[in-house]
Structure 1
């Protein structure tokens, strides 16, 4: 059900319930200059900070657009029920002790169910939630201090942690914040629904999500699709990357994947830019607010120090930034201005010969900006005003702003240390259309994120394949049964014979061609148990190897050996706790754990996505032909992976995990020589 959050987010009237916390909200509303109606409801007080109190909810002059409910959890339900009945626009529920504390406090789940029922169609935030800050309309429905200021436009932040949200408002980086909304435990209204409602405000330029969990994936998909249509980039931090999130499974895949990889694959799939730290989160949002997603990766770095130029180059390693060469005309113009001593290269160290000559600095900077770079970055740390005189640096400020005005190019100033760019200069640059990045590492990461945003801008993903209900008891198919099931979807497998005894095995292989591979069945990780024998040349050797496995194996599987292999690939699919299925591609065979060389996608995965993922692996040179060997058939390899994905999608209601390891890539095909499938037991 989609609820209208517009009255809650942009209220003209606010009701408050409770004591001390309600007092704090009134204080913040008065401080921010909220010009709507404020109606405190408290039978024990005549007024709160000069605002007359009402004795009961029944005394409200009309249904409030928004309410802050700062009473205990039982009373919260009563207030919510009455507000909903009178047609209120929405409420934020401050109290804790609901489902989020069920492990410590009995009855939390039952109370949460009652709260949702009481709310009915009325939207609520929380419980265990601070509320919302709307700096566009001076709405500070928030029971604590906060650090942002009124803006005409800016970014919206939705956080599943009220304290993290507070910390973000205290930033001194020049980021214009339009909204901060705390989601609490999302009993009724999830972070995705909140974020989607914020998209409707034309004054919002970008959305930031601080996520502790994904919740309803279909709601997240819907939000991401609307954000893409509206052209508003989305940045996210997803916490919870520890190994504790990994379920105990039978395959190598699960040990290499984990929920962090699934979360990253999900965000990428939806076109949401993932970052890891709050600083990079804020810097990325700021760059996207000022400039938007970058159309390409060509970046120019300009500084008056070789050290700064070298650091920019070093810290950009492994990012998406490409320090492209200057065009011939630019090179000649720069050489004419800077003289023979200065080396014209990108990153550019223009030395200090022109420092203080503002017209000449402007010409140099405009020459840089007039090229084909997607972003020109000027490294500039300002002296601290309390101990130094920054006036000597005004020439650089004026020259950058003048060059920006002359060329209209995308430009950013980057301070190598966050504290070395004051609010005064940050405002001056941003008013001139120049983005300001605080911190070299953070700034480079933000630029890389903006490049990624540009690449994902045109992405139109297919709906994610979701699993059925949480898996119950499950069983593992035998290797032979697993291969047979996958073969029905087009996966190539070797000719094989399964047998319960040595005698049956010897009879079964008479029509097969040596050399053979022999595997003892009944154990998941056969190599570790000594249940794999390769390159068996004849029946005598086959019998000898089979008898070595007696007492451990419950049966046998003999296969014709696959020769001509060029690369061994792991293909695994696991059911993630989010409900999505994650495809893991990586180095296979004996190298799986040694290299931990993997790439991750969500189902469904397209051929182009699979090929890009395969090309990203460290073993990718093997596919192209290595040291005189022929190239593997990448089309056939991708077809094999697609066959495995098709099986997984068809079995989405029952599949727990599957793994093909190795899938052997050859010059003309790809053959699966081992497979394992775990399905929930049929009812």
Structure 2
């Protein structure tokens, strides 16, 4: 039987080899807890090259090609050809018993014959020869290797998995740094080291610059490079991570971020696990204000193991990843071209930008088009104040429209100085965060001096959108003005960086330290321990609510009835109406099993409901453990919310807030946060719900007690953090929020708690 397919850590979906770290998908390998080490994040400083010295791998002073070829077009020949083409200054040689010289470099029969110790070995051999060659590298004292070959864990075979495990063990035991296997290599532009067989490096030679490309796919690596090159954007690193046996995506990011020449990190991700320090590294980049743009494909479920719950069905990992990037201060691209566009625009991030956009245009049509695009992207195009309109009016043609957009028409050619003064007024206006100018190429070429002078006195982002090909793009960019030829892509990129500027400030102090209440935690662990002692992997509803109550979540009066007479006694003590529910840790959705009866108003109804529930449940779930019937005081009506906390394999505990009740899965109204969150941040989650107006007095209804709801969410956040190692998922559905700020707030009516 073959080795199990290397698969997504949560959902089991097959992924390409480039998505895997050393241990991922290999049977018997260790896995770290996912998510954030909050103590480690306090005072976190970006990992430097000295913390784990990757210089031999990424900035070698010498290298050897094992499997060297005299043909420059072959995999074993390209690194040698590029060393000549790009002028690598260090020692270079080949290993191949067929030759004594290859492409002008000395060649030796084996590694032991090489008269010096190279920093890096580039291994251009088949998978079957890689392990032995790596052992020879270690014996030679070589500290790093790049392996191009495939045929390892990505094949899904026993042989491939075993070979990858053996190589990982060698790297662990010896400290050998290894890029790959199954990768196309590494490029350090400034060092002129091209440990790669990418022909794109010869077809479109990298322009020295500040964008570091790190990609988990060779094809993506080439695509991003080609897009950046077409835009004349300079790069300093182009790195394909391969199978990540010993050096992972975050390791590469840490290295390039520590290089002062890096101005932007552009990454392509197919898969991560929770052990590679991704979250901590992104926090470090956010603290250093180093712009980072990521494009992630695929969906890694946020708790796919809990597929039976509402939350896992509604909130896959793609949404969690998007949420997490906002909190981490990372820009997210939707495709390869946008990744390149954002990397280009991020080079201008020293200029401030925000969500209030001023549009200056020579076209009425594009005034409307751009307004639509920016508003659809979540920006505002605010009407200019009367004072600002009055300040702009003297500098624009009499027929201009100046409410925003400001349509100056093509008559601007008759008064270019007025254009400069009017633009300067907009750039200095406090009511605008970002300014965009749209026109044709010939007009922009003619107005370039005015654009440059106007922006020179402002720190605000000014972007030019153009139809046609400008001749003076380089002059504009040198002055700090980005230029876009595609209006749609330009507007999308501008919107992304505007939101990024807001989000990175909003989340700059996240995650805040979490103070544990040890007494409360021990009480909760005692409840969990009793369930485990009984061989259970979930709490029953009553136990779950007892845990919630420890964290300040309001719950209704309720009790467990072992028989109908006890149910009657409890109902009388609570007062009617009451609700009866089956109590079982094995039944997640009680309504579907006929295990719930609502609105019971008398003893006869309670007695009948008790027997009816048990009969229905035994028919639907004959194997379920029944621990009695829960009698609960029926909550008053209100707005229903669903709140859950589940473990994401990358980011750890994630809080989901959504429209609640039995229709939760039918309403796409979901807001998420990676934990922890504060009471203020919980209130912001509420305001993002589409159904928020129902809580805010829609059509004259009483306004809900927002403070009570926010405090409840923050309490569940605290629960999720304190019990992260003990609870895999908790779902509260519904929480009923009562109308009126003084009515007591809310009550958690039902819950599911699953144990690790």
- Other-structure match for 2:106: 52
Are residues 527 and 441 of structure 1, via their aligned partners in 2, closer, same or farther at CA, if it must alter by over 3 Å?
Answer: farther
| Distance in 2 separating the partners of 1:591 and 1:536 | 22
The structural deviation recorded for 1:513 is: 0.9
The structural deviation recorded for 1:6 is: 2.3
Are residues 362 and 115 of structure 1, via their aligned partners in 2, closer, same or farther at CA, if it must alter by over 3 Å?
Answer: same
Q: Deviations over 1:369-395 (max 9, x none)?
A: 34344332222454xxxxxxx6x7531
Note the 1:536-615 alignment, pairs <5 A: 536-553=600-617, 554=626, 555-563=628-636, 565-578=637-650, 580-615=652-687
| Distance in 2 separating the partners of 1:426 and 1:68 | 40
- Other-structure match for 2:217: 161
Q: Deviations over 1:332-388 (max 9, x none)?
A: 353223333211022222111123654444344334334344332222454xxxxxx
User: TM-score, normalized by length of structure 2?
Assistant: 0.81
| Distance in 2 separating the partners of 1:74 and 1:664 | 62
- Other-structure match for 1:644: 716
Does residue 17 (structure 1) correspond to residue 69 (structure 2)? The answer is: no
- Other-structure match for 1:257: 315
User: TM-score, normalized by length of structure 1?
Assistant: 0.89
Instruction: Give 3-state SS (helix, strand or coil) of 2:475's partner.
Output: helix
Does residue 659 (structure 1) correspond to residue 731 (structure 2)? The answer is: yes
Structure 2 unaligned regions, length at least 5: 1-46, 515-531, 618-625
- Other-structure match for 1:505: 567
Note the 1:147-186 alignment, pairs <5 A: 149-171=205-227, 172-186=230-244
The structural deviation recorded for 1:85 is: 4.0
| Distance in 2 separating the partners of 1:78 and 1:581 | 42
| Distance in 2 separating the partners of 1:608 and 1:381 | 46
Note the 1:44-83 alignment, pairs <5 A: 44-83=98-137
Q: Deviations over 1:8-58 (max 9, x none)?
A: 222222221224312122223333333333222222124333333222212
- Other-structure match for 1:669: 745
Does residue 450 (structure 1) correspond to residue 497 (structure 2)? The answer is: yes
Does residue 350 (structure 1) correspond to residue 408 (structure 2)? The answer is: yes
- On the 8 A contact 2:352/2:460 being kept in 1, the answer is no
Instruction: Give 3-state SS (helix, strand or coil) of 2:509's partner.
Output: coil
Instruction: Give 3-state SS (helix, strand or coil) of 1:585's partner.
Output: strand
The structural deviation recorded for 1:576 is: 2.4
Residue number among 415, 424, 433 corresponding to 1:374 in the alignment: 433
Note the 1:206-285 alignment, pairs <5 A: 206-217=264-275, 219-241=277-299, 246-247=304-305, 249-285=307-343
- On the 8 A contact 1:497/1:509 being kept in 2, the answer is no
- Other-structure match for 1:621: 693
Residue number among 579, 585, 588 corresponding to 1:524 in the alignment: 588
- Other-structure match for 1:365: 423
Q: Deviations over 1:161-197 (max 9, x none)?
A: 0110001111122322221111111110110011001
| Distance in 2 separating the partners of 1:594 and 1:349 | 44
| Distance in 1 separating the partners of 2:651 and 2:428 | 49
The structural deviation recorded for 1:315 is: 1.0
Residue number among 151, 158, 169 corresponding to 1:106 in the alignment: 158
Structure 1 unaligned regions, length at least 5: 383-389, 466-471
Residue number among 448, 458, 465 corresponding to 1:414 in the alignment: 465
- Other-structure match for 1:133: 187
Residue number among 510, 518, 543 corresponding to 1:461 in the alignment: 510
The structural deviation recorded for 1:676 is: 0.9
The structural deviation recorded for 1:628 is: 2.9
Q: Deviations over 1:626-652 (max 9, x none)?
A: 333322222221222233333333332
Does residue 339 (structure 1) correspond to residue 397 (structure 2)? The answer is: yes
Instruction: Give 3-state SS (helix, strand or coil) of 2:712's partner.
Output: helix
Instruction: Give 3-state SS (helix, strand or coil) of 1:627's partner.
Output: helix
- Other-structure match for 1:475: 537
**Alignment size in residue pairs:** 659
Are residues 175 and 627 of structure 1, via their aligned partners in 2, closer, same or farther at CA, if it must alter by over 3 Å?
Answer: same
- On the 8 A contact 1:358/1:398 being kept in 2, the answer is no
The structural deviation recorded for 1:329 is: 5.8
Does residue 115 (structure 1) correspond to residue 167 (structure 2)? The answer is: yes
Are residues 489 and 244 of structure 1, via their aligned partners in 2, closer, same or farther at CA, if it must alter by over 3 Å?
Answer: closer
- On the 8 A contact 1:208/1:234 being kept in 2, the answer is yes
- On the 8 A contact 2:250/2:276 being kept in 1, the answer is no
